[in-house]
A and B are shown apart, each in its own frame.
Chain A
Amino acid sequence: SQKIEQNSEALNIQEGKTATLTCNYTNYSPAYLQWYRQDPGRGPVFLLLIRENEKEKRKERLKVTFDTTLKQSLFHITASQPADSATYLCALGMVWDMRFGAGTRLTVKP
């Protein structure tokens, strides 16, 4: 069966450092992979999408990589700020069949 694993439930880093979150998947070959941010008690907010033929995508302080051989995506936040503290979800596939990881809760300490 398809599995999506985000490497850790929680990640704590110091302000200014780079946060790196991992999303691994098995038994799946998605054409698209997305990353969402979710704040407590709120719905997810779309951040970035990367296609299977793209190795890397950037948006401001965010960077996503997609390695279809390793079946892994890395999500980086550079120069992290306390306001970046949230849960980050990876999601695979098209919207009608989108599968989510359980998320990694990132805390950026001042």
Chain B
Amino acid sequence: GAVVSQHPSRVICKSGTSVKIECRSLDFQATTMFWYRQFPKKSLMLMATSNEGSKATYEQGVEKDKFLINHASLTLSTLTVTSAHPEDSSFYICSATLSGRDTEAFFGQGTRLTVV
């Protein structure tokens, strides 16, 4: 149980375009999902907390107009990187938690974004 699926696993896009990453909880409902960004040999940095049916909460320094998050259902959250630039190239990972268990996170497989 507690499987989180992220899609796509890899994407290459051109500068100026937008790309959408999906995060799905496959066998449970996730009212809250989290989006992280990870640079090589660096720790995961929390970007935003995605809440079903409401606006996402962004961490300080994360541009909410650039990284659009939508959590339209209890099993799906999406992250859209708008007007992508090469510096947006990174590994993006989502996670979700089981209701009532706020101490462990279940992560998706991650998405390697390359902006050319």
Q: Which residue of A lies closest to B91 (CB)?
A: A41
Within 8 A of B (CB), among A20-61: 32, 34, 36, 41-46, 49
Question: Judging by beta carbons under 8 Å apart, are B104 and A43 in contact?
Answer: no
* Chain B count of residues within 8 A CB distance of the other chain: 26
Residue among A36, A49, A95, A101 with the most chain B CB within 10 A? Answer: A95
Residue among A9, A44, A46 with the most chain B CB within 10 A? Answer: A44
A residues apposed to B, CB below 8 Å: 4, 9, 32, 34, 36, 41-46, 49, 89, 91, 94-96, 98-103
Question: Judging by beta carbons under 8 Å apart, are A4 and B43 in contact?
Answer: yes
Q: How far is the CA of A99 from the CA of B109 in the complex (A)?
A: 19
Would you give the shortest CB distance from B107 to chain A, in whole angstroms?
3
Given contacts A34-B103, A94-B103, contact A103 B43 (CB under 8 A): yes
Would you give the shortest CB distance from B59 to chain A, in whole angstroms?
10
Question: Judging by beta carbons under 8 Å apart, are B44 and A44 in contact?
Answer: yes
Q: How far is the CA of A101 from the CA of B107 in the complex (A)?
A: 16
Within 8 A of A (CB), among B22-40: 32, 34
- Besides A91-B105, A95-B32, 13 more A-B contacts (Cβ < 8 Å) are A34-B103, A41-B9, A43-B4, A43-B110, A46-B106, A46-B107, A89-B44, A94-B102, A95-B104, A96-B49, A98-B105, A100-B43, A103-B43
Q: Contact flags (1/0) for B87-111 with A, using CB distance below 8 Å?
A: 0000101110100001111111110
**B46: CB under 8 A from chain A?**
yes
Question: Judging by beta carbons under 8 Å apart, are A44 and B107 in contact?
Answer: yes
Question: Judging by beta carbons under 8 Å apart, are A100 and B44 in contact?
Answer: yes
By a CB distance below 8 angstroms, the chain B residues around A49 are 103-104
By a CB distance below 8 angstroms, the chain A residues around B102 are 94-96
Out of B43, B91, B107, name the residue touching A45 (CB < 8 Å). Answer: B107
Q: How far is the CA of A89 from the CA of B107 in the complex (A)?
A: 13
Residue among A43, A45, A103 with the most chain B CB within 10 A? Answer: A43
Q: Which residue of A lies closest to B2 (CB)?
A: A46
Question: Judging by beta carbons under 8 Å apart, are A102 and B43 in contact?
Answer: yes
